[in-house]
Structure 1
Amino acid sequence: MKKLYLASLGCVKNLIDSEVMLGRLKDYELTNNPNEADVIIVNTCGFIEAAKEESIETILSLAQFKKENALLAVTGCLSERYKDILPKEMPEVDIWSGVGDFNRIDELVKERKSKFSPNVYLIHNEERIITGSSYHAYIKLSEGCNQKCAFCAIPNFKGRLQSRPVEEIIDEIKRLKNKGYKDFSLASQDSSSYLKDFGIKDGLIKLIDEIDKIEGITVRILYLYPATTTKKLINRIFASPVVENYFDLPIQHISPKMLKIMKRPGSVDKLKSLLKEMRKEFSFVRTSVIVGHPGESEEDFEELKKFLKEYKFDRVNVFAYSDEEDTAAYKRKDKIPPEIIEKRLKEIEKIVKKTTINSFKKYIGKICKCYFDGLTEDGLFYTVRPKLWAPEVDGDILINESEVENLEVGNLYNVEIKELAGEELIGKITKSK
């Protein structure tokens, strides 16, 4: 059997497309060793400068491992965004494709040809091979985005919003459940706009209504957009027996002036009202902020710092502004010097470290349902993840004691969280409820 090496970079939405490619190439055996692979695929990210650099470095590095007669294929956002430049600059690559042909990767490999279809690919009923977990899977709600944020180039190469039908998503969840998957994270560029391209209001609520009919699973929703998120949606999530009280709402900033510059619609008062609503019950609130966006004054920055301290998000992704061509921010003259961006970044990261620690402390003394993930790499602890938390990004809990025998990966257990050691929560798997 021929061997395949796949590097999937960037977000979980990219990962889903990578899993579609694995489904199309299931006749290949997956390998972790690129120099024995007959086909090497890099699914790239082109979101910000750091992601672009990682993609380029990965391509060039893997090209050095390529054995004789092997194929190196590059797909995804970076190759789509720079399709007129990269194929000329990187002769090491045998096959180029963008964001329109993930479900045709087997044809491209077989015919050894490149292709850039004009339409953005959106998964429908295609079989894919889930990676990274035997019980958790990501589900794509939609592709593209109708928002016009000043700093973001994604709509330029991902196009406008196109949502999957509710029935299709429910069918995929049920099919994966039948294969043993029980925990799901729903993802898109703008999840709270789901079905707006069909003229349907409250599309995400309609989807939750159907998800609630499926027993034996947990679900969380990623990437809510502030301007399209409503209190009605928040309260529907609270009312759901299946969808977790998990709110991933990237605010990017809190200064009214900066939100206007960033072209983020909606008022600060509405944004704060939504965030307050999310704290009505025990919940998990994650956000993202951008530091050093053009136009950000010291006063704007201080306002952001103050709000992060006050609200105490559970987790915060902090990004230094990345100057991306073909965006409104790129054309602005009031750019922030790199050394000031770096200084501000460090200040925000200190605040976020404290708020994250405080979030951990909320769990000490509680008993919560957690998914069991097995041993740590050093074999000293078991690890579990509260079902409220998202995998990979929100962390885990270390277990040094268990009252339950024959633990199985993917099963839910009651965990008594006993202490915080440094930046790690330590718990005990208990028979208590």
Structure 2
Amino acid sequence: MEYSIRTTWDQRPITHSPIQITLSKEDKSPEKVKVTVQGQFFNDPPNPGGKTGEAFPGLWDFEVAEVFFLNDNNQYLEVELSPHGQHLVLLLKAERDAFKTELPLEYTATITGDQWIGTAYIPCGYFPPRVSKFNAYAIHGAGENRVYQSLYPVPTGKYKNPDFHRLDYFADIDLKNLLPQNWAASYHSDLWRPIIGTKSFSISTTWDGHPINHDPITLQINKLDDKDQVKVIARGPLFNDPQNPGGVPGQPFDQLWDYEVAEAFFLNEENQYLEVELCPHGQHLVLLLKGRRDSFKTKLPMNYTATITKGKWEGVAYIPAEYFPPKVSKFNAYAIHGSGSDRVYQSLYPTPKDKYTDPDFHRLEYFQQIHFEDILPSNWMASYKSDLWNHQESK
């Protein structure tokens, strides 16, 4: 696989020969991916110091090429390579959320005149499971002359500043051919094993795909090995609009969607789905639906607590396994706040801009894939049983 970085971070053409990046495999090292970087050497900034062949923290502040490998759960590997021989490897479990840094890497670089070439061998275990997207970057220059370049850039004029962690602009990559074991059901990584059972999402757009102008609501879905349930954590800014709807914290509250709320929907291929609504004031609402808007269970009990601190809130819910329809395969999440004409509806996976005039969180065709078997393996087993759903399917 060969790539050329021909544009700036915001899609403007560059004025020099591009950085070339090649991804390949070798028969001698089937458990590694070979990354070759070559291109123009600017020596600006100059050599940052440190030892060649070793990790260097903050390498992104110097002349560097970077490759990012992302999966559908926003888990990704970031590899930074310097023409002077230093490197930096980070594993991130969500946008900007690194849990491993400065990992060792087999890497060498040489400089010849105004050109450089670097070769790295990335171990299979560094990649998150089922890598599906990719981006690459190059940086050089200092101060006002700092230049940020991107393989898959953002649209010109959409953002004021470069940010290489805008994951929605990454493009597809077929890592199955390059590293088939990364997509195998038996894939194992000691580094990623504690993270695989956690999926993180950030609701950064309105229901119809427009960017929001405040910190997003985030949802974290966690596997619990010792309990037959799923933990969901919602976090974000508190608008307190509408205000506390009343009721009893920790108890169901009917029509909670009319208040400030975060929502998570878990869908299977039969259009059966679980809807979970979480309020910053402690109320919740859980519904089971056997088709679009066709609920047959509502106000189910759930262990849920919420706290408000300094303009922010956090809600923690424990969802029993039996609430999920069998073989959950798709997901969407939402956030709502505001009153009257200022009511704001936000979506993780929005509908296309200008296609609809009104929000509707039950447009199931816009839900996207989730590997729910990583979170709740029993949900995908042939032996999965739920008195709630089995009774419904028998009708």
Q: TM-score range by the shorter chain?
A: under 0.3
Larger strand fraction of residues: 2
Query: Which protein shows a greater Rg?
Result: 2
Give the TM-score normalised by the residue count of structure 2: 0.27
Q: Which has the higher contact order (CA 8 A, sep 6+)?
A: 2
Larger helix fraction of residues: 1
